[in-house]
Structures are given as C-alpha cells and as structure tokens.
Chains A and B, each alone.
Chain A
Amino acid sequence: MPGPVLISFDKVWKTYGQGEARVHALAGVDLAIRKGEFVAIMGPSGSGKSTAMNIIGCLDTPTAGTYSFEGIDAGRLDRNRRALLRNLYVGFVFQGYNLLPRTTAAENVELPLIYRGVARSERHKLAMQALAEVGLVGREHHTPAELSGGQQQRVAIARAIVTRPTLLVADEPTGNLDTARTHEIMELLTRLNGELGLTIAMVTHEADVAAYAERTIRFLDGHVASDTASLEVA
C-alpha cells in the first residue's frame, strides 16, 4: 500500500573529475520511491549505487538534474539545511556499522537526539525504546568492541530509527554479516517497514537479501537498467 511519492530523481547526473578522468557516476537517472516502500538497489560494482544512495540520503547533491525529497528541492539546499533534513527525516545504516568507538550502545543511539536538542531524560527513554525494538535489551551499556557484528548493526539500526525518520538509507547493511545474522537483520528491517511504515532504500549484492524488498532497482553504468517487483522469497 505505497503512499505518495517521497523521493524523485529527474535526470540526475553526478560527475566526478575533469577532462580525461571524468566519470559519470550517475548519467541521467529518473526514478521515484513512494512513502512506505521497501526498495532494494542492486548492480555491479561502480554502477553508481552508493552515489545514488548518498543523494537520496541528502548527504550529497547532483551535478545536474533535480532531486526532490518530500517535494523539497533537496539537491539545491546548502550543507547545513541538508544536515537538518537528515536529522529530521533520514536514518542511515552502513555496511561498516559506523558506531562511535568507546561509546556505549545507549549513547550511540542517543546521538541524533542530541543534535535535535531533546532533553537528556527524554533522550534516554527514547534510546531504550529503540534498543528494545531491535532486540538489544540488556546491552545498553556495552561499547561496540563488546558487541558482535550483528549486535552492532542492530545498534546502528536503533540509532537510525530513534528519531522516527521517514526514510531509512541502508548501503549494504548485511555486507559484513554471516547468513544467519543477515536474515535476522533483514527480518528486523522488514518488520520496521511493516510496523512503522518506514520507507527503506537498501543497497545489496545478494539476491536473497533483495528478495526481502518489494521492489528491486538495478543500476548499470550510472543508469537504471531495470525496475521490477521482487520475486517472493523461496
């Protein structure tokens, strides 16, 4: 039951370098993602997936074309406005977890709330709630070094959802995990998509991971090569 359009690319180009070394990471991409969708993005290495994800997550801006987020021309906002947009609407999950080292799980999860100016006690409550949602009760005071990869990725997901974002951007979230952990994380993401109506854009190289999504977009040389409804999980 997808809602209105959340994200739209209109002939988006991203070009790196000058002259001979010029690379078109994205070469006129058109695509739209609706609210509540769970989209997998696939494609060979260097096809522009991460580049597209960075623009979707408002970390980066297109060289040409228009990127809109909730009708806002996010591609033309300055970096501090985009920071605000990220803080209010976007959660990130990375392949390498990217938790602050030597900082407890609870403190990591609280981080985005600090930049929102949420009061300390409220922050703590919300962080505990988010950690409970990803199944990490009792691990609040562990630092990343004291957690397994799967647990660290759960903390990262808790940090991404603690602000109740509209969009979750996940670039190869299971890339560092074994099969069993991969499926646990995918089940968690699927649940968050279903229960919270969280829109998810996720890059993956594995078909069985992509299968959790409702829709798969394939990139090839900076273009969208195909855009199909996913096959059901076998």
Chain B
Amino acid sequence: MIWETVRLSLISIRRNVLRSFLTLLGIVIGVAAVIAMLTIGSGTTEKVKADISKLGSNLLVVRSGRPAGPGGPGGLDQVVRPLAEKDLAALVAHLSGARAISPASQKQVRVIFGTESLTSGITGTDSAYLDARDWKLVSGRPFSDSETRSGTGVCLVGETVRQQFFGAGDPEGEIIRVNRTSCKIIGLLEPKGYTGFGQDQDNVVLMPLAAYQRRIAGNRDIDNIYIAADERTPTTELQPRVEDILRDTRRITPDRDDDFSIRDMTQIADAMASATTTMTGMLGAVAGVSLLVGGIGIMNIMLVSVTERTREIGIRLAIGAHEKHILIQFLVEATVLSLLGGIIGILIGLALAGIASVALTIPFAPSPAVILLAVGFSALIGMVFGFFPALRGARLDPIDALRHE
C-alpha cells in the first residue's frame, strides 16, 4: 500500500515536472544553503584549528604585563616590568613537566642582501626555540650553546627570506645585513606557510638572544618565554606552576595581581574553533529560515494540487477509499516532493561547499550527520506542510467532489 502510494506520487510529480520543480526550488535553495554553510563552516573550523596548532600545540607563552581581561591588558596604574633573564633561569631551574623552555624577543626589521631587501620578523632566542615551537631545519644546524651565550652573529632563515635573496639557491654561509649588524646564515627552516591570520610564518630570521639584545633591541629584555609541555603534562596543569615560579622570582606579594600573562595556545585554539562553530551554527540557522519558506511553497502547491484533483478524490472516495487513504496519498506526495528537493539541495550544497573549499583553501569537510539531518528535516517539512492540504482533501464530501469541474 505505501509503495503503491509512493509510486503514485512519483507519477503525479512527473506529470507536472515544471511545476514540481518550481515548488521544489524553495526547499532546494534552503537545503543547499544550510548544507553549504555548515560544510564550509566546519571546514573553516578545521582550518583554524590546524593553523593554531601550527603555532605550537601544548604551548604556553609568557608575556610581561597584566593578563588580558576586563579592563584590557595592563592597567594604567601599572608600569610594565619586562621579563628578564632571571625569570627564564628560574623556570629552567624549577619548572617540571616542560619539554622545552625558550626566550624570544621579536621585532620587524629590514634585512638586506646585496641590492635586495626585505622586512622580516627577527627573533632573538636560544637553541631550545626550535624544540619549543616544534620547528625543523631543512638544512644546516641550530645555534650552539656557546654561540647563544656569546651572541655570535649567526642566524637561521625561513623559506621566504631564502627565496627573496637566493631564489632556489643554498643560503648557508652567506652573510646578510640585519639592521646595522650582519650575520652568517647557518641553517634553513622548514616552510610552514601562512597562519589563519594571514601572517607569513616563513618570513623569519632567528639569531642568538644575546646578539639580538645587543645589536638590534639595545636592551636586555625578553618579550616572550615559550614553554612546551611534555607529553604527560597538560598545559592546564603546567600553567599554575609557571605562575607560581614567576610570582616568586618577580617577588609579587599575594595581595597583588600578576604583572605577566600566560597564554595557553591550546585553549586559544579551542576558543577560536568554538567561535567559528557558533558562527557556523548561526549562519546555518539563518539559512534554515529559507527552509521554512520552502515549506510554505510545498503547502501552497499541495493546496493547488488538492483543488485540481478534487474530482479524482471524489472518484477515489466513491470507489471506497477511506479518509486515511487520501490523507496518506497527499502526505506521501508532499513528503516525496520535499525529500526530492532536499536531496537535490544536498547535492548542490555540497558542490558549492566543494568549490568554496578550493577557493578559500580550506578542507572540504562534509558531515554525514548534517546530511542525514537535512534529509530528515526536508521529509519532516513535507509532512508538516503537506498535512493541512492532505487533510482538506481527505475531508472532502464525495458527492461535492464528484460534481467539481
């Protein structure tokens, strides 16, 4: 009986191909919009997560200045006290659960080789930096401890720097000018591409901290301390330990707030990801409203269909159809119609998301759950919006219906 009815409804949909298609358009657009939104959204979330994990996973970054919060970073009442070598030394000596601890001071500086120049991010750091950031060398070697200590003019460069100055050539052993000093390239960093914030992670030059402080910054401050947690220690556990040690070396009395901040990159990644997810959900909901419009389209066309087929309903009732037979027939028809629209919509939505993922270089991440939901939802819309017209058909008086022209 149900199969018979489904077959019947497909026949009646086929009889009116153009009208059926126009009716479906609302559902098609609605479902396509929802599917495209959610698929692009989850691709973006994945991309953001991947980007942030490029910044380093299980990484804490310590900075001077009060933590960001209500009132903003660093109050007016507070003179920002920079991080110093003794803070780093205390962490290295007392912190357990860290795989690598490394200082980093950064500045955008003009780098020159021959007649070429490039503004690049110069980082003064030590040999633990590569480990802390999980960066690798393609060729060459990291700084030696003695180079770090004495502040020798050596440096590691990123792929962008190499391309600017040497093309595909080998940069090792070349001398570049950084600001008013010069350094010898001893290694090439592995390419990392752009961050989600559009920052070129390969336009970098690393040099020993002492050299940076002396020749570029002109002070002995440390901007950041990177702390990578080891496998057994979650960053949430490491963070309070770091805080304790720093409060201690920086002699902060219990009645005073921290004058430094510790950022947990994992938490930032999660927060960013959940922000994109919320955004996606909201866009999806807006797109969902168009599904409602599609539903009203279905209701409209089913009312037309019931009116057009009043005589047919009369014949069926005269022949002995129960009210529920008529009701089911039109409900199935509305559901099949809307389901068809849903399936077409899903295909179009996925195609759009596929094109977008290529254009935006985000992963194509279709979710089976979302697709199933869209199928279920479009069937539901057919049933809900088809019900009233179907009931109207089922309640017709057979004599009146037979007399209908």
Contact = CB atoms under 8 A, between A and B. Distances in A.
Interface string B285-313: 00000000000000000000000000110
A62 to B, nearest CB: 14
B319 A112 contact: yes
A59 B399 contact: yes
A230 interface: no
Contact of A100 (B315, B322, B323): B315
A87 interface: yes
Interface string B40-52: 0000000000000
B323 A115 contact: no
B319 A87 contact: yes
Given A54-B399, A59-B399, A114-B1, A80 B320 contact: no
Q: A-side binding surface: helix, strand, loop or mixed?
A: helix
B231 interface: no
A59 B318 contact: yes
Contacts of B318: 57, 59, 86, 92, 98
A115 B325 contact: yes
A87 B399 contact: no
Nearest to B4: A114
B321 interface: yes
Q: B-side binding surface: helix, strand, loop or mixed?
A: helix
Interface in A65-121: 79-80, 83-84, 86-88, 90, 92, 94, 98-102, 111-112, 114-117, 120
A86 B320 contact: yes
A119 B46 CA distance: 53
B311 A98 contact: yes
Nearest to A108: B315
B399 A60 contact: yes
Contacts of B4: 114, 120
Contacts of B399: 54, 59-60
B402 interface: yes
B319 A111 contact: yes
Contacts of B15: 102
A5 B15 CA distance: 46
Nearest to B395: A79
B322 A115 contact: yes
A57 B402 CA distance: 14
A117 B1 contact: yes
B402 A98 contact: yes
Interface in A109-148: 111-112, 114-117, 120
A100 B314 CA distance: 10
B10 to A, nearest CB: 13
B396 to A, nearest CB: 10
Given A54-B399, A100-B312, A159 B322 contact: no
A54 B398 CA distance: 10
A116 B314 CA distance: 17
Nearest to A51: B399
B323 A80 contact: yes
* Interface-central residue, A57, A88, A100, by most chain B CB under 10 Å: A100
Interface residues of B toward A: which range?
A: 10 to 19
A78 to B, nearest CB: 10
Contacts of A112: 319-320
A116 B320 contact: yes
Nearest to B320: A87
A83 B312 contact: no
Nearest to B5: A114
B319 A92 contact: yes
Contacts of B317: 83
B311 A88 contact: no
B1 to A, nearest CB: 7
Contacts of B250: none
A100 B322 CA distance: 17
Contacts of A117: 1
Given A100-B312, A117-B1, A83 B402 contact: no
B322 A84 contact: yes
A60 B317 CA distance: 12
B220 interface: no
* Interface-central residue, A84, A86, A117, by most chain B CB under 10 Å: A86
B388 to A, nearest CB: 19
A102 B399 CA distance: 22
25 contacts: A59-B399, A79-B323, A80-B322, A83-B320, A83-B323, A84-B320, A86-B318, A86-B320, A87-B319, A87-B320, A90-B320, A92-B319, A94-B402, A98-B314, A98-B318, A99-B315, A101-B312, A111-B315, A111-B319, A112-B319, A115-B316, A115-B320, A115-B322, A120-B4, A159-B319
Given A80-B322, A117-B1, 11 more contacts: A59-B318, A83-B322, A84-B322, A86-B320, A87-B320, A99-B315, A100-B312, A101-B312, A112-B319, A115-B320, A115-B325
